[in-house]
C-alpha cells in the first residue's frame, strides 16, 4: 500500500516540476516589455508622430493638382460694330456661350515667416518627446521588476537561513532525545526545542507565501505564467561603493522625467516661433498649364493650350488681437513649465541626497551587522559545545541559536536594501545597468 502512495507522490512532484520553470531577470525584462499594454499604445503614438513629421516635411514641396470647368452663359459676348467706325452699326457675337477650361496647376509657398521650418522642428521635438516617454516607461518597467527581484531574493535568503536554523535545531533535537532517554535532560528541554522548531517552520511558511506573492507580481507584469524561480545576474548583486556614483547633483540633469520638461519647454518655444510668423507676409508662386475654349482669344472658336503664372503676397493687418494673445499665452506656458521643472528638480535633489545618505548608513550598518553575525556564530558554537558538556542549558542553546539566526537575517536584509537603494539612485540619475538608448532627431 505504501509503494503506490510513494509512487503517486513522485509522479505528482514530476508533473509540478514540468509545469514550473526557471527564468532569468533578463527573461522577465523582455517579457514585461512585450506584455505591457501602455507600451503598445506608446508605439502607436510614435507611429502617429512619425506621420506628423512627414506631414510637416511635405509643406516644403509644391502642391500640384488638376482642375476642369465647363461654364455656360445665357448670352454670348457681343461687340457694338459702330464703335469700330462701321456706319451700318449692328452687333457681332464674340466667342461662344460655353467656356471650357482644363488645367494642371502648381502652388509653391516661397516664404511664410519661417513657420514651416519651426513646424518641422516642432514635429521632430514631439517625436523625440514621445520616444523619451517610451524609454522612460521601459525604464520604469525594468526598475519595478528589479525591485521585485530584490524582494524575492530577500525572501529566498531568509528562507535559506531559517532552513539552516531548522536543520541545526533538528540536530539538537536528536541530541536532546538521547539525553532524555539517558536521564540527563528533562522533557521540558525537549518541548522547548520542539516548540521553537514549530515557530521557525511557521516563519518559513510565511516567507514562502511572501515569495510566491512576489513571483505572482512579476508574472502579472511579465505575462510569464510558469515562473517558479528567478535567477539574478551577478552585476545586480554586486555591492558597489557609493563613491562610484560620483557627483550626483550634476548628474540629476539626465533624469528621465526631467528631460520631459525640457522637451515641453522646447515645444512651447517652437510654437511661439510659429505664432510670431503670423506677423510676416506670406509669399507664394502659382503656375498652370491650360487647355480650353476660347483660350486667350475671346473671339476664337478653337481649343487652345496656354499657361498662366503669378505671385501672391498676403499679409493680415489685424486679427482682433489674436496673434498678440497667442504670444502672451506662450510666455505663460513657458513660465509654468519652468516653475514645474524647478519644483521637480528640487524634489528630485532632496530625494536623491536622502537616498545617498541612507545608502552610506546602510553600508556602515552592514559592516557592523557582518561583525555581529560572526560574533553570534562563534557564540552559538561555543554554547553548543558547553551544552553537550552539560555546562549550558537548552534555553541557552535556543537563545544563542535565535541570536545567530536573527543576525544572519539582518545582515542579508541590509545587503538587499543596499542593492535596492543603489539601483534607485542609478535610476534617478538615468544610469541604469540595463541598456536603453533611443535615437533622437536633432534640430537643424
Q: pLDDT tens, 404-441?
A: 999 999 999 999 999 999 999 999 999 999 876 555 55
- What mean pLDDT is reported for the chain? 88
Indicate if the pLDDT at residue 177 is higher than 90.
no
**Residue with C-alpha cell 541590509?**
414
Among 325, 328, 415, which residue's Cα sits nearest to residue 365? 415
* Pair 139, 259: CB distance under 8 Å: no
In the structure grid, which three cell numbers stand for residue 26, read together?
533578463
Q: Which domains does the chain have, with CATH numbers?
A: 23-62+102-280+315-428 (1.20.1600.10)
Query: How many percent of the chain have pLDDT more than 70?
Result: 87
Model pLDDT, residue 440: 55
Model pLDDT, residue 362: 96
Model pLDDT, residue 271: 96
Dump pLDDT digits (tens) for 252-266: 999 999 999 999 999
**Residue with C-alpha cell 534555553?**
395
Bridge partners of residue 283, in order along the sequence:
111, 313
Model pLDDT, residue 80: 66
In the structure grid, which three cell numbers stand for residue 266, read together?
522646447
Indicate if the pLDDT at residue 44 is higher than 70.
yes
Residue 416 CB neighbours (<10 A): 20
Model pLDDT, residue 443: 58
* Pair 268, 296: CB distance under 8 Å: no
Whole-number Å distance between alpha carbons of 215 and 13? 20
Model pLDDT, residue 18: 44
Model pLDDT, residue 193: 83
Indicate if the pLDDT at residue 374 is higher than 70.
yes
* Pair 198, 204: CB distance under 8 Å: no
Dump pLDDT digits (tens) for 113-158: 999 999 999 999 999 999 999 999 999 999 999 999 999 999 999 9
Indicate if the pLDDT at residue 161 is higher than 60.
yes
Burial of 123 (0-12, 13-18, 19+ CB in 10 A): buried
pLDDT band per the 50, 70, 90 thresholds, residue 89: low
In the structure grid, which three cell numbers stand for residue 111, read together?
516664404
pLDDT band per the 50, 70, 90 thresholds, residue 187: confident
Model pLDDT, residue 34: 93
pLDDT band per the 50, 70, 90 thresholds, residue 81: low
Model pLDDT, residue 17: 43
pLDDT band per the 50, 70, 90 thresholds, residue 279: very high
Return the minimum-mean-pLDDT range out of 159-163, 193-197, 410-414.
Answer: 193-197
Q: Please report how many Cα atoms fall inside a 13 Å half-sphere around the Cα of residue 141, on the Cβ side.
A: 28
Assessment of whether the complete model's pTM goes beyond 0.75 = yes
Q: What is the DSSP string of 240-299?
A: --GGGG--HHHHGGG-HHHHHHHHHHHHHHHHHHHHHGGGS-EEEEEEEEEEEESTT-TT
Model pLDDT, residue 2: 46
Query: How many percent of the chain have pLDDT more than 90?
Result: 71
Does residue 234 sit in helix, strand or coil? helix
Whole-number Å distance between alpha carbons of 21 and 33? 20
Model pLDDT, residue 12: 42
* Pair 169, 193: CB distance under 8 Å: yes
Indicate if the pLDDT at residue 1 is higher than 60.
no
Indicate if the pLDDT at residue 9 is higher than 60.
no
Model pLDDT, residue 13: 43
Indicate if the pLDDT at residue 11 is higher than 50.
no
In the structure grid, which three cell numbers stand for residue 273, read together?
516661433
In the structure grid, which three cell numbers stand for residue 91, read together?
452687333
Amino acid at each position: 500500500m505504501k509503494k503506490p502512495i510513494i509512487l503517486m507522490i513522485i509522479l505528482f512532484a514530476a508533473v509540478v516540476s514540468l509545469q514550473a520553470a526557471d527564468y532569468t531577470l533578463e527573461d522577465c525584462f523582455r517579457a514585461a516589455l512585450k506584455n505591457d499594454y501602455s507600451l503598445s499604445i506608446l508605439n502607436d503614438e510614435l507611429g502617429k508622430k512619425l506621420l506628423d513629421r512627414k506631414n510637416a516635411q511635405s509643406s516644403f514641396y509644391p502642391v500640384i493638382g488638376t482642375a476642369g470647368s465647363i461654364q455656360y452663359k445665357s448670352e454670348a459676348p457681343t461687340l457694338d460694330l459702330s464703335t469700330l467706325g462701321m456706319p451700318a452699326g449692328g452687333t457681332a457675337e464674340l466667342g461662344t456661350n460655353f467656356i471650357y477650361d482644363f488645367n494642371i496647376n502648381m502652388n509653391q509657398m516661397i516664404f511664410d515667416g519661417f513657420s514651416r521650418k519651426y513646424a518641422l522642428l516642432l514635429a521632430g521635438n514631439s517625436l523625440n518627446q514621445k520616444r523619451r516617454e517610451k524609454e522612460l516607461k521601459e525604464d520604469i518597467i525594468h526598475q519595478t521588476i528589479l525591485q521585485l527581484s530584490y524582494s524575492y531574493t530577500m525572501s529566498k535568503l531568509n528562507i535559506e537561513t531559517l532552513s539552516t536554523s531548522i536543520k541545526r535545531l533538528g540536530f539538537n533535537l536528536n541530541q536532546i532525545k538521547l539525553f532524555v532517554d539517558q536521564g540527563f535532560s528533562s522533557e521540558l528541554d525537549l518541548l522547548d526545542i520542539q516548540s521553537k522548531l514549530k515557530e521557525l517552520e511557521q516563519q518559513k511558511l510565511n516567507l514562502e507565501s511572501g515569495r510566491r506573492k512576489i513571483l505572482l507580481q512579476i508574472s502579472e507584469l511579465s505575462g510569464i505564467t510558469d515562473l517558479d524561480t528567478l535567477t539574478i545576474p551577478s552585476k545586480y548583486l554586486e555591492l558597489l561603493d557609493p563613491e562610484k556614483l560620483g557627483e550626483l547633483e550634476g548628474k540629476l540633469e539626465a533624469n528621465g522625467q526631467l528631460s520631459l520638461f525640457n522637451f515641453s519647454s522646447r515645444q512651447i518655444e517652437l510654437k511661439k516661433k510659429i505664432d510670431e510668423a503670423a506677423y510676416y507676409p506670406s509669399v507664394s508662386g502659382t503656375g498652370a498649364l491650360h487647355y480650353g475654349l476660347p483660350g486667350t482669344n475671346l473671339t476664337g472658336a478653337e481649343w487652345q493650350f496656354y499657361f498662366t503664372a503669378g505671385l501672391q503676397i498676403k499679409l493680415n493687418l489685424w486679427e482682433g488681437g489674436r496673434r498678440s494673445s497667442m504670444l502672451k499665452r506662450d510666455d505663460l506656458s513657458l513660465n509654468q513649465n519652468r516653475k514645474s521643472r524647478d519644483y521637480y528638480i528640487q524634489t528630485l535633489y532632496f530625494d536623491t541626497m536622502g537616498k545617498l545618505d541612507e545608502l552610506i548608513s546602510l553600508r556602515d550598518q552592514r559592516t557592523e551587522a557582518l561583525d555581529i553575525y560572526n560574533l553570534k556564530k562563534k557564540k552559538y558554537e561555543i554554547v553548543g559545545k558547553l551544552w553537550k558538556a552539560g555546562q549550558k542549558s537548552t534555553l541557552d542553546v535556543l537563545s544563542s541559536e535565535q541570536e545567530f539566526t536573527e543576525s544572519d537575517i539582518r545582515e542579508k536584509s541590509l545587503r538587499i536594501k543596499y542593492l535596492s537603494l543603489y539601483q534607485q539612485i542609478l535610476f534617478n540619475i538615468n544610469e541604469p545597468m540595463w541598456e536603453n538608448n533611443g535615437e533622437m532627431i536633432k534640430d537643424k
